[in-house]
Structure 1
């Protein structure tokens, strides 16, 4: 009798999820990535509006992260045109996903076909098979529509919600969550990358009642217009305010200090390190894992994908 590979579901979007998956793909696990389709800015937003397809940008980044292709092909997928009437700003990967969607007539099927071409390890699933709109209610009651507009408001967010209301997740996503041994949320923009997935009807509910351990990988730096001055427990509170309170079992936080020259650079963007407020986290009754989980990439702070992946694999044992 052979041992089955552990099933891991990673949920999010943006750069954070991609970094996480780059570390996980080297472990002997069955990976399913569920990726947000709420983006409405840049190349993704243009393709979404012009072709009436879900935004491909976050999906592209995750496909590249999980692919096992030559480095030059990865560079090709991420290549972004800087000139050309109509082409400027678009990446090759976004255009390929748009083309595959046109050929197959279905966004999710287009992702499956491109996954096969790229020799992707695991499955990449959109949170929904059509575009969704992320809306935010600010603390003063103002309604802001559109993912890209929310941080621009630079005001404190009360809650976010999706439209249309009749969004259906893919059956494969629901099944993956139900069968998972570990469910990972984040890292990534709290309101605009992580929460949009959890707000898809049934997805959030299935995550809450799943038997798998659920772990939140907390962001390392705050984000201007989204999580200004947030501590780790503030991040956790927002997640739990939007979904069932007992959903998160474990949080992974950074305890390494950030060099001053890097702090100075981030200060120009209005970002500071997320404070590890240990006692407040423990008051939630969840397991807290703190470690040196960051690395510097050309003075940009990223999660160290190998360290985080090893911590997550430890939760499977």
Structure 2
């Protein structure tokens, strides 16, 4: 019998809308995926369940499970269904309620995710950044503080730094193991201060990413975000992560090379957002390998990363990295 070859391992760290978009494309490739998802969300359905049931917020995890699922479209649609009528279920998504129920039954959020992964035939592993709720706080440039992931973007002030409470947050052993075993680690895409950094700030997670032997890729956002990254260049995004981590750990950054249509820019201007300035020379000065490509998908009036294009680029990087490792061992 021939020796069974294991799939190359990729770890993706993020949350919000960016992570599921990327995973939908990546699951089509022969890779071993681990998605590490933020548990700092405190708004909407997630926030209500978090407060009422004292469980980690299920929303970001739900979206990732749906993105990696391999079930009939109607089943995924049901899992993602949000109740709209004005009653006690108003605003809740069915998937959030199922995850909350499964957590109550099993007594453990991680176990609930594992069971739902089986039901949804998930291609990969979904891990919360911590097996508990965490609170995200921001110190603003004027010295004031604001608490709550959902409130931070609406402060109207520039963010100096973000941090988590409680202080004794413990990372999952599975998360640490996945980071150590990864062939490629991907950061983003997603909101810089409220989706990406809450993962890296969990004690042990950021340190392991810094130390990991795997190459690290940052997928830079296409547009700036009011309340978080107003007027940020690509290097400003990277610097903010480095400042919080106290280490410079990224090898590669993927940036968009495509012009954003003026009518879409006009739409984003109403939200005080604009295309991120990709200061290539500065990024190279920071020691980063800069990959530029047309990675934009136009979904109506909104801009998203092109899931198939980005997944293809990451898969190529992953294969190059695993082939290099094999070559080194020979």
- TM-score relative to the length of structure 1: 0.99
Alignment match, 2:7: 5
SS at match of 1:125: strand
> Shift of residue 228 of structure 1?
0.4
Aligned pair 1:207/2:209, yes or no?
A: yes
Aligned pair 1:67/2:69, yes or no?
A: yes
Deviation string 1:277-306 (CA, Å, 9 cap, x unpaired) is 111111101111011001101121100011
- Quote the Cα distance in structure 2 between the aligned partners of 1:33 and 1:246: 22
From 256, 269, 292, the counterpart of 1:267: 269
> Shift of residue 276 of structure 1?
1.0
Alignment match, 1:224: 226
Alignment match, 1:122: 124
* Pairs within 5 Å for 1:116-265: 116-265=118-267
Structure 1 runs of 4+ aligned residues shifted over 2 Å read none
> Shift of residue 135 of structure 1?
0.5
Alignment match, 2:324: none
- Quote the Cα distance in structure 2 between the aligned partners of 1:240 and 1:42: 30
- Quote the Cα distance in structure 2 between the aligned partners of 1:117 and 1:262: 39
Deviation string 1:111-138 (CA, Å, 9 cap, x unpaired) is 0000100000011000000100000000
Instruction: Please tell me the root mean square deviation across aligned C-alpha atoms, in Å.
Output: 0.8
Query: Structure 1: any 5+ residue segments left out of the alignment?
Result: none
C-alpha contact (below 8 Å) 1:208/1:244 kept by paired residues: no
- Quote the Cα distance in structure 1 between the aligned partners of 2:245 and 2:290: 19
SS at match of 1:276: coil
From 37, 40, 48, the counterpart of 1:38: 40
C-alpha contact (below 8 Å) 1:97/1:114 kept by paired residues: yes
SS at match of 2:151: helix
Alignment match, 1:95: 97
> Shift of residue 270 of structure 1?
1.1
SS at match of 1:14: coil
- Quote the Cα distance in structure 1 between the aligned partners of 2:246 and 2:308: 30
- Quote the Cα distance in structure 2 between the aligned partners of 1:154 and 1:124: 33
Deviation string 1:88-109 (CA, Å, 9 cap, x unpaired) is 0000111111011011010000
Alignment match, 2:114: 112
C-alpha contact (below 8 Å) 1:47/1:98 kept by paired residues: yes
- Quote the Cα distance in structure 2 between the aligned partners of 1:86 and 1:129: 27
C-alpha contact (below 8 Å) 1:154/1:226 kept by paired residues: no
C-alpha contact (below 8 Å) 1:253/1:289 kept by paired residues: yes
Q: Which is further off, 82-91 or 160-169?
A: 82-91
- Quote the Cα distance in structure 2 between the aligned partners of 1:250 and 1:154: 32
SS at match of 1:4: coil
Alignment match, 1:17: 19
> Shift of residue 266 of structure 1?
0.9
> Shift of residue 141 of structure 1?
0.6
From 302, 313, 316, the counterpart of 2:315: 313
- Quote the Cα distance in structure 1 between the aligned partners of 2:120 and 2:241: 33
SS at match of 2:190: coil
> Shift of residue 77 of structure 1?
1.3
> Shift of residue 246 of structure 1?
2.2
- Quote the Cα distance in structure 1 between the aligned partners of 2:296 and 2:246: 29
